[in-house]
């Protein structure tokens, strides 16, 4: 069983068009705090990022923010955290969060959230870490993302088994429990499709 003392949460710096995402962020923060899991996040005080940090702190939990200098200078940094780590750029921020975390959760967000989710998933499939990756699928937000992964597998660009690299739930406590029981299952990454044998195409 995985030990989850520190969880990196990726989520939006906006609130979204329905209150569902706000309430999910508050519940996620409360759940982390009551389970004594430290939140590692992007250090902002806006949108869902600020909401989850405030919720963890309000319930007696601990929060580490990791924020690049240019965002801190835009005055979006949360000033009431237990710890705020400043980095030179976005790339350094991402790898610092990966280093600090025992697992990763993606909540509703935009391009930045998806980039961070894809990063930790890619590193997991390549065995560059063995930490669980979770999705809090509030209001079916990640259904299109999960469908796109299925499309990649259907078209032969990733093994079907890679869909099992992600723990998915719409309930924070259930998601954390799934992540604790996550076990990596290796799959062959490079597969020679049958049609190549019928074509005059140089391959490996």
Give the residue among 41, 102, 33 at the shortest CA–CA distance from 62: 33
Both tokens of 59, joined, read 């319930």
What DSSP letter does each residue of 160-195 carry, written as one string? GGGGGGEEEESSHHHHHHHHHT-------S----GG
**All residues at 6 or more sequence positions from 39 whose CB lies less than 8 Å from its CB, including other chains:** 6, 7, 9, 29, 32, 52, 53, 56, 61, 62, 63, 64
**Residue 137: HSE in the Cβ half-sphere, 13 Å Cα cutoff:** 16
Domains delineated in the chain? 6-198 (3.40.50.450)
Q: What are phi and psi of 188, to 5 degrees?
A: -65, 125
Give the residue among 60, 62, 20 at the shortest CA–CA distance from 39: 62
User: What 3-state class would DSSP assign to 67?
Assistant: strand
- State the Cα–Cα distance between residues 172 and 3, nearest whole angstrom: 16
Q: Could you say which residues of the chain have pLDDT below 50?
A: none
pLDDT at 203: 62
CB 107 within 8 A of CB 113: yes
CB 28 within 8 A of CB 9: yes
CB 137 within 8 A of CB 28: no
């Amino acid at each position: 069983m995985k030990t989850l003392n520190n969880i990196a949460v990726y989520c939006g710096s906006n609130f979204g068009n329905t209150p569902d995402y706000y309430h999910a962020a508050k519940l996620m923060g409360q759940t982390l705090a009551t389970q004594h899991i430290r939140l590692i996040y992007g250090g902002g005080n806006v949108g869902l990022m600020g909401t989850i940090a405030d919720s963890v702190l309000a319930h007696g939990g601990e929060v580490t923010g990791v924020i690049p200098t240019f965002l801190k200078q835009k005055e979006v940094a949360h000033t009431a955290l237990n710890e705020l780590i400043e980095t030179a750029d976005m790339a350094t921020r991402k790898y610092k969060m990966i280093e600090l975390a025992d697992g990763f959760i993606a909540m509703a967000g935009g391009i930045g959230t998806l980039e961070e989710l894809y990063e930790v998933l890619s590193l997991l499939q390549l065995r560059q870490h063995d930490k669980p990756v979770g999705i809090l699928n509030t209001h079916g937000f990640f259904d299109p993302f999960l469908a796109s992964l299925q499309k990649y597998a259907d078209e032969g660009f990733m093994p079907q088994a890679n869909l099992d690299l992600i723990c998915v739930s719409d309930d924070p406590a259930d998601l954390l429990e799934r992540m604790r029981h996550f076990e990596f299952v290796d799959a062959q990454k490079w597969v020679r499709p049958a049609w190549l044998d019928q074509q005059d195409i140089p391959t490996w």
